[in-house]
Chain A
Amino acid sequence: MLSKFIKVMENRFVPFASKLGSQRHLLAIRDGFISIMPLAIIGSLAILINNFPINYYQQYMVGVFGAEWTTFSNYIYSGTFSIMSLLIVFSISYNLAESYNNDPLLAALISFSSFIITIIQSGPQGFTIPFKWLDASGLLVAVIVSLLATEIYVKMMDLIEIRKNTNQGTMTPILNRYFSALIPTILIFIIFSLMRIIFAFLGIENIFQEIYRLIQLPLLGLANNLFTALVIVFIGHFFWFLGLHGTNILEPVIQTLYLPALQENIQAVSNNLAVPNIFTKPFFDSFVYMGGSGTTISLLIVIYLFSNSKRKKDLMKLSSTQSVFNINEPILYGLPIVMSPIYLIPFILTPLVLTLSSYFAILTGLVPKTIAMVPWGTPPIISGFLITGSISGSLLQIFNIFIGILIYFPFVKIAERIKD
């Protein structure tokens, strides 16, 4: 009966998840975020270095480098994490144009300019770029502008391409390429400039402010809610259970919602204000997905300590080292967990419970909120310390792994009894 249920789920959800996972614009957004990740991680760690909440450390740094020692890292942060929207405009556009087999560099440059046209403000000293909207608060506008500009560019280039094929030109290829790009480029800038004027006419001088207030702020509010976090964890793991990379499929949503949340936290820390958000991208990566999706590090420990079955011991040999770096495909497909009715429950239940436990640990103040980001392959216990700047982050990870062990234990036993 259970296997029939799984079959139905598979037939119903796999096509849907596949469509979501292969959608061109979502893919471009996901790849766009992946491209800027190194910069975002370095920027967030720069702020962490400034703000380790250890008195001795702070005094030592001031003693060695002087009171202005934090300026050094602040520069790095301001040039990376702080201009996230600027970076993302370029990288989403680049990835989207590339997927159309069009000139990615030119498309990215056009999108970049379109973004600047959208953001500049006139003031008494001429045009200025408001720096505060270049960070994650301008993210939604950045995504829209880059998709829009690139789409118009690609569509117009396709039209020109068709015309060009009907009457062959005599120009050299490279010259030809830039000449034919001229008309779409001009048109795109006209559209964006005109848009500014129309918005100004409607009384909206700063589009960023309006979109932030009307869409992004409510979205962030929704994201920083326990229920939403549980739903996102559930969907991601449900897709994984069907054999699809759930967290990857959801990546565009997770990044757009939870990267700005992290940025707000970082900003607050560097201004000595109260840190606002519990749910951020590193919250999930480091407190919940330890050893990979499904917190399989706990499962591996259970198998290692309590299992006699030889096949599983072999599996352990294959995957224990990678598991430390949060790679778990061999376990998911090899044990297997994917499509296994027995592992369905702990595989989905463990991350949900850990989302709850981490939430309450942070809510009650036992563990500080996340203020930095590390690469997703950073081993647990190390990552917990780095993202919170506190040992209690690591302790929460150990506690969570222990809960995971308790949840997985009975199911491993059942699975073995059925095998025998």
Chain B
Amino acid sequence: MENIVLVCTAGMSTSLLVSKMKEIAGRNNIEINIEALAQSELKSYNKRIDLILLGPQVKYLLNNLERNYKNSETRFDVIDSIHYGTLNGKAVLNQALTLLNKKVI
């Protein structure tokens, strides 16, 4: 099962989005694990990660991800700010599925 991690400064606002994404994934029978993390928790997170999605407010962390994950399978991207602000779980889930080369809903 793919593991997706959403990252923001304290893991608070992304956790709202994660619960929406999980709900939609569940309704469409998509087997996927989604978690919200604070930026400081990401380094010590030791499960396998397939995709990291950054909240738009921490898009500056892309540089760090490029540095840390350049030799790994992990993909990463920034969440669209309007989708983030409107907590559009479906759009963000589709963004994730596209990045994982899966069928969108």
Number of B positions contacting A (CB below 8 A) = 27
Which positions 65-85 of chain B face chain A at CB distance < 8 Å?
68, 81-82, 84-85
Closest chain-B Cβ to A319's Cβ sits at a distance in Å of: 9
CB <8 Å contact, B43 and A336: no
CB <8 Å contact, B85 and A333: yes
CB <8 Å contact, A334 and B86: yes
B40 — which chain A residues lie within 8 A by C-beta? 30-31, 34-35, 95
Q: Which residue of B lies closest to A332 (CB)?
A: B85
With contacts A95-B40, A322-B16, A327-B12 taken as known, whether A333 is within 8 angstroms of B84 at the C-beta atoms is yes
CB <8 Å contact, A248 and B58: yes
Q: Which residue of B lies closest to A246 (CB)?
A: B57
A18 in complex: contacting residue of B8, B56, B63, B87, CB < 8 Å: B63
What is the bound-complex CA distance between A338 and B57, given in angstroms?
10
Which positions 39-67 of chain B face chain A at CB distance < 8 Å?
39-40, 43-44, 55-64
With contacts A95-B40, A98-B43 taken as known, whether A329 is within 8 angstroms of B60 at the C-beta atoms is no
Q: Which residue of B lies closest to A315 (CB)?
A: B86
B85 — which chain A residues lie within 8 A by C-beta? 329-336
With contacts A31-B40, A243-B56, A322-B16 taken as known, whether A22 is within 8 angstroms of B81 at the C-beta atoms is no
Q: Which of A20, A30, A322, A333 has the most CB of B within 10 A?
A: A333
Q: Which residue of B lies closest to A321 (CB)?
A: B16
A207 — which chain B residues lie within 8 A by C-beta? none
Residue B9, interface by CB 8 Å: yes
CB <8 Å contact, A336 and B81: yes
Q: Which residue of B lies closest to A22 (CB)?
A: B63
B81 — which chain A residues lie within 8 A by C-beta? 243, 333, 336, 338
CB <8 Å contact, A243 and B57: yes
Closest chain-B Cβ to A30's Cβ sits at a distance in Å of: 8
What is the bound-complex CA distance between A99 and B42, given in angstroms?
10
Number of A positions contacting B (CB below 8 A) = 37
CB <8 Å contact, B82 and A333: yes
What is the bound-complex CA distance between A327 and B85, given in angstroms?
12
A329 in complex: contacting residue of B43, B55, B59, CB < 8 Å: B55
B contact patch SS: helix
B64 — which chain A residues lie within 8 A by C-beta? 22, 24, 27, 99
Closest chain-B Cβ to A301's Cβ sits at a distance in Å of: 19
A330 — which chain B residues lie within 8 A by C-beta? 13, 16, 84-87
Closest chain-B Cβ to A320's Cβ sits at a distance in Å of: 13
Closest chain-A Cβ to B37's Cβ sits at a distance in Å of: 13
Closest chain-A Cβ to B30's Cβ sits at a distance in Å of: 23
B55 — which chain A residues lie within 8 A by C-beta? 329
- Residue-wise, chain B 1-45 has the 8 Å CB interface mask toward A (1 for contact) of 000000011001100100000000000000000000011100110
What is the bound-complex CA distance between A338 and B55, given in angstroms?
14
Q: Which residue of B lies closest to A248 (CB)?
A: B9
What is the bound-complex CA distance between A101 and B44, given in angstroms?
10
CB <8 Å contact, B63 and A329: no
A368 — which chain B residues lie within 8 A by C-beta? none
With contacts A329-B13, A333-B82, A334-B82 taken as known, whether A245 is within 8 angstroms of B87 at the C-beta atoms is no
A332 — which chain B residues lie within 8 A by C-beta? 57, 85
Residue A6, interface by CB 8 Å: no
What is the bound-complex CA distance between A128 and B43, given in angstroms?
37
What is the bound-complex CA distance between A30 and B82, given in angstroms?
27
What residues make up the interface of B, taking CB atoms closer than 8 Å to A?
A: 8-9, 12-13, 16, 38-40, 43-44, 55-64, 68, 81-82, 84-87
Chosen A-B contacts, 6 in total, with CB atoms closer than 8 Å, are A18-B62, A244-B57, A249-B60, A325-B12, A336-B81, A338-B81
Q: Which 8 A-B pairs have the closest CB atoms?
A: A333-B85, A334-B85, A21-B60, A18-B60, A245-B57, A329-B13, A22-B63, A31-B40
